[in-house]
Amino acid sequence: MIVLDLNHGSGLIYGRDCVGGPDITVRVNALIDAAILDRQARERPRDYLGGSRIGEPCARKLVFEITHTPKDADRDFDARILRVFDAGHQFEALSIRWLRAAGFDLRDRDADGEQFGFSVAGGRLRGHADGVIVAGPDIGVRWPALFEHKALGAKSWNDLVKHGLRRSKPIYFAQVQLYMAYFDLNVALLTALNRDTLVLHHEAVPFEPAEAQRLSDHAVDILRAATAGELPPRIAAHADFHFCRFCPYATRCWEMTA
């Protein structure tokens, strides 16, 4: 019989750190953040224009992005934001699982086990879809449909529910329009998860050929400008414009003469 002797030390150092106090929290979080930032630093930057970015209203910002222009000091994503991105991928996997359990034939990989994607303009314009729903229950949507997932904070999620994708999230709206064009699909099902409550919102988004063509033409203009080493005009006449205030290239941009 083995008897535990709990009356003498086990070699552990006891103290407030052992009960999850502030010191241990700081130490562990510092290690986690360092690992996240190191992983981010080792990722290869995109050498193409992503379809998920084509709805960005500032063309100059897109040229900065695809030419790997350094951001202003302290304007890179911090570890907290990168954790939010990681959590979004996990929420997406949960939503896919729930939809499949509800009878939706949702594919997130092609026959080769790769994510559904498109590549045009010599690989300089690319996109990867969250999935395609090839069949499912009768919900008033004709299958197949593009599937796109977003995990949003409560304020952003509520705005989407109130105003719809086009008005509330024009960048996401542009993304699904361009994706539908290149995947030859006539409708998209957007699923938005509220990160704070885990409530789901769904919106069917019809394909608009004219809008998709405009976005495709815009992408060509961005790529041409980047190739020529040119910068499109600024989006605003003054640096205090609301898009500029949050732009990671704002200082660099407004220090230029034009």
CA distance readout (Å), 60 to 204, 229, 233: 31, 11, 7
DSSP structural state of residue 123: T
For the entire predicted model, the pTM comes to 0.86
Give me the tens of pLDDT residue by residue for the chain, a chain 258 residues long. Answer: 666 766 655 555 544 545 556 799 999 999 999 999 999 888 888 889 999 999 999 999 999 999 999 999 888 888 898 899 899 899 999 999 999 999 999 999 988 898 999 999 999 999 999 999 999 999 999 999 999 999 999 999 999 999 999 999 999 999 999 999 999 999 999 999 999 999 999 999 999 999 999 999 999 999 999 999 999 999 999 999 999 999 999 999 999 977
Produce one character per residue of 43-76: b if its CB has 16 or more CB atoms within 10 Å, e if not: eeeeebbbbbbbbbebbbbbbbbbeeeebeeeee
Q: Which two tokens stand for residue 252?
A: 């660099």
Confirm if 197 and 154 have CB atoms less than 8 A apart. Answer: yes
Q: Which long-range contacts (CB under 8 A, 24 or more apart) does 222-226 make?
A: 222/49, 222/54, 222/59, 222/62, 222/63, 222/66, 223/49, 223/66, 223/121, 223/124, 223/125, 225/59, 225/63, 226/49, 226/63, 226/66, 226/67
